[in-house]
A and B are shown apart, each in its own frame.
Chain A
Amino acid sequence: QKEVEQNSGPLSVPEGAIASLNCTYSDRVSQSFFWYRQYSGKSPELIMSIYSNGDKEDGRFTAQLNKASQYVSLLIRDSQPSDSATYLCAVTLATGTSYGKLTFGQGTILTVHP
């Protein structure tokens, strides 16, 4: 079993719809959770971070964390064609020598069609 699991997709949604991306992780001591967006041929770009249970909203993006269920999700409201990319879920202990040792899922390909 992979440490961080994502549905590879592709996930296709119409423009203006809500895109829902899901991620589960296996290590219960994980403390920090991130969503990165990666356009084809480009580097990962951080779009959301979340550290405690509940929802965190930033513009059109909402991250949701449920540590009991070991589940993280990302909702994109009013999806735009420019949101079409691979979305990577990452987790880390985020402390000491484990800082920056992100464990990534394989990514979910999102396509927003006009």
Chain B
Amino acid sequence: GAGVSQSPRYKVAKRGQDVALRCDPISGHVSLFWYQQALGQGPEFLTYFQNEAQLDKSGLPSDRFFAERPEGSVSTLKIQRTQQEDSAVYLCASSPGTSGNTIYFGEGSWLTVV
């Protein structure tokens, strides 16, 4: 595809439910990022992959959050035992290189925990 693709676009989860959010980066992009954006706030960094290696996971808010990119392309962000404070837009972004390149964002997955 032409851009970063995320699915599902919208997800309503009951508190305590596990969710998985998928990101399909631009073909050939080495770097992949996950960000969390709460309503009315700027995005906050969660984690960074270079190919299949997770180089930085310092932004993951708790051990309920887990991300993987096993083959260096598609990535999944998993949230276990969702809580209301997890309600946010989860943005995936990719970049062709490992420095100095434009970072392209996907449309986001809107998660609402009820």
Contacts and interface: CB of A to CB of B under 8 A. Distances in A.
Give the dominant DSSP class at B's interface.
Answer: loop
Interface of A: 4, 8, 42-46, 49, 88, 90, 94-107
Contact of A94 (B41, B99, B105): B99
The 10 nearest A-B residue pairs measured at CB: A104-B42, A43-B105, A97-B55, A100-B33, A101-B45, A44-B105, A43-B107, A106-B42, A99-B99, A97-B56
Given A42-B107, A43-B91, A103 B45 contact: yes
A49 to B, nearest CB: 8
A102 B49 CA distance: 14
Interface string B7-19: 0000000000000
Give the dominant DSSP class at A's interface.
Answer: loop
B45 A102 contact: yes
A44 B91 contact: yes
Contacts of A8: 40
Nearest to B6: A43
Contact of A100 (B48, B91, B106, B107): B48
B103 A46 contact: yes
Contacts of B99: 94-96, 99
B55 to A, nearest CB: 5
